[in-house]
Structure 1
Amino acid sequence: MTDSTRPLPLLGAALTLDTLALHRDWIFERQRDLELQDFCFAEVLSGDWRSRADAARTALAGYRGRLGIHGPFWSLPLAADDPEIRAVVARRMAQGLDVCEAIGATQMVIHSPYTTWDHANLDEHRDARARLIERAHLTLDAAVARARDIGTTLVIENIEDKDPHARVELAASFDAAVVRVSLDTGHAHYAHGSTGAPPVDRYVQAAGAALDHVHIQDADGYADRHWLPGEGTVAWPAVFRAVAKYCDRPRLLIEVKDQVGLRRGADHLVGLGLAE
């Protein structure tokens, strides 16, 4: 259970515009945090994304909660050695921020550059950790400046990360309030079960006050399942205790494959007395 002296955290959701329509009353009644996931695809960003942004503004009329988007990530490494690849990634980051500005999103999720291979091998090479951070800056510095200008925060989500501290160090290296940390509970649980990483609550503890965003999904420790909370083996009481102890109101967004049935996962966490 969470600390009974504190109000329970309010759950939000990561949805497409289509599934937002199914959960609109639930989101709007409490002005729950919302993350739109329509704008992370290359074909959208290279196409008529402005029409989709117009549709988002229409769908969000009357919404006053905290709005974010999942930024572009497919085949977009944040710390590539090749400067031409970095240029492509930087352009996609700029396009994601164009979307944020167009719809009033104050947060954009981007993916950690750290891999399982990195965990075992970075320290085989002198200054490899520092060089990875340097390459990430070469990729992201323009996006960080733009994010500051438009009032959007970039949050770095764990993917393969086995060391929960590495991307916290990366976020801090920008020395900017607009670069913070994201946690995906299912990714962390996969890393714990399959690669020997710490349990999910230790990822929360490692991020501490820098944790600004959480993707809530259940898994079995074997793969990235994106199951509804309650369908896997994530230790939810420990996760929510850690959030209450170490963090300051991160956005708690249920991100699952079954977006239609998302409320069942929310009801599971509510039934455990962990959230509203």
Structure 2
Amino acid sequence: MSLPILGAALTLADLPAHADWLREAPRDLELQDFVEADVLDNDWHPLVQRAKQALDGHKGRLGIHGPFWGWTIASYDPAVRAVVRRRLDQGLDVCQALGGTHMVIHSPFSTWGYNHKGLYPADTDRFLSAVRDTLSAAQDRADAMGVTLVMENIEDRDPMDRFHLCEALGWKALALSVDTGHAHYAHGFTGAPPVDFYIRAAGERLGHVHLQDADGYADRHWQIGHGTILWPSVFAALAKIEAQPRLILELKDKAGVIPSARYLQALGLAE
């Protein structure tokens, strides 16, 4: 059985140093230049053109990390939801121009919400109503474009919360994303299960994974092997599902991307 092929989350500035690595196999790529409001509110088309030129010959799947700073898709404030809908639409504009087929969005679940689950029964319907109002247009547009919105765990303590939310939303253009460092933080600091449980919970709905190492205390985005995540368990869980998620090395120091890939390759886990 062939090993899963690793990809990476990079900016345009990082592409030259990783060009050969990206072309040695059909490696998936996530561009992260489009998360900032000042980029989306100005002319980003030259960035897309630079990306297309730099990626000539790239055979992997391509996508972006969508905007996320300062808001949630579950805001109870309709004025805030209007802003969020606009940001999501801007992200999809970029995907369309780039030819991207995935966009990362963030989970709305929080540690606070987990600890107050059931305390205010009306919040369940209010929460779902807010998310549906925020995401419906983006789901429809993404579906028509052939783009998958991958919902990434952030503070999620229960690995099934996003699954049930997306199920309630009808799964149109939606898949699950697991960020290993976020899951490890939730495990180490909030009592959530280990990282591999998040993979198992996503199952065949897993469309995307952010691979980063961490210490279970904070969102480190360390080079693989520099933290305490048990990588054999993560890849064993991946091997038990039929989904073929994009495996994206998302590191703070991009110089660690290729060494991380070689580390996992040496363990016989990926290539």
**TM bin (shorter chain):** over 0.9
Deviation of 1:115 (Å): 0.5
Partner Cα separation in structure 2 for residue 26 and residue 76 of structure 1:
35
Deviation of 1:152 (Å): 0.3
Q: Contact 2:140–2:172 at 8 Å: present in 1 too? A: no
Give the alignment of 1:122-271 within 5 angstroms. Answer: 122-271=117-266
Partner Cα separation in structure 1 for residue 166 and residue 215 of structure 2:
28
Deviation of 1:247 (Å): 4.2
User: Within the alignment, does 1:23 sit opposite 2:18 as a pair?
Assistant: yes
Q: Contact 2:5–2:26 at 8 Å: present in 1 too? A: no
Which stretch shifts more, 57-66 or 178-187? 57-66
1:243-263 CA-to-partner distances (Å, cap 9, x unmatched) read 110241100000001112311
Q: Contact 1:186–1:217 at 8 Å: present in 2 too? A: yes
Q: Contact 2:10–2:31 at 8 Å: present in 1 too? A: yes
Q: Aligned letter for 2:75? A: A
1:64-116 CA-to-partner distances (Å, cap 9, x unmatched) read 31101000000121000000000000000000000000000000000000000
Partner Cα separation in structure 1 for residue 75 and residue 196 of structure 2:
30
Deviation of 1:176 (Å): 3.2
TM-score by length of 1: 0.96
Q: Contact 1:10–1:275 at 8 Å: present in 2 too? A: yes
Give the alignment of 1:16-165 within 5 angstroms. Answer: 16-165=11-160
**3-state secondary structure, aligned to 2:214:** coil
Partner Cα separation in structure 1 for residue 168 and residue 189 of structure 2:
29
Q: Aligned letter for 1:28? A: R
**3-state secondary structure, aligned to 2:64:** strand
Partner Cα separation in structure 2 for residue 82 and residue 168 of structure 1:
24
Partner Cα separation in structure 2 for residue 13 and residue 64 of structure 1:
13
Partner Cα separation in structure 2 for residue 270 and residue 62 of structure 1:
24
Partner Cα separation in structure 2 for residue 251 and residue 130 of structure 1:
32
Q: Contact 2:188–2:216 at 8 Å: present in 1 too? A: yes
Q: Aligned letter for 2:32? A: Q
User: After TM superposition, which residue ranges in structure 1, 4 or more long, deviate above 6 angstroms?
Assistant: none
Q: Aligned letter for 1:125? A: Y
Q: Aligned letter for 1:163? A: D
Q: Contact 1:115–1:160 at 8 Å: present in 2 too? A: yes
What is the aligned residue count? 271
Q: Aligned letter for 1:187? A: H
Q: Contact 1:185–1:216 at 8 Å: present in 2 too? A: yes
Partner Cα separation in structure 2 for residue 59 and residue 177 of structure 1:
32
Deviation of 1:56 (Å): 1.2
Q: Aligned letter for 1:275? A: A
Partner Cα separation in structure 1 for residue 4 and residue 125 of structure 2:
36
Unmatched runs of 5 consecutive residues or more in structure 2? none
Partner Cα separation in structure 1 for residue 246 and residue 35 of structure 2:
19
Q: Aligned letter for 1:234? A: I
Q: Contact 1:172–1:180 at 8 Å: present in 2 too? A: no
User: Within the alignment, does 1:12 sit opposite 2:7 as a pair?
Assistant: yes
Unmatched runs of 5 consecutive residues or more in structure 1? 1-5
Considering only aligned residues, what root-mean-square deviation do their CA atoms show, in Å? 1.0
Q: Contact 1:218–1:228 at 8 Å: present in 2 too? A: yes
Which stretch shifts more, 56-65 or 105-114? 56-65
Partner Cα separation in structure 1 for residue 88 and residue 172 of structure 2:
18
Q: Aligned letter for 2:39? A: V
Deviation of 1:177 (Å): 4.4
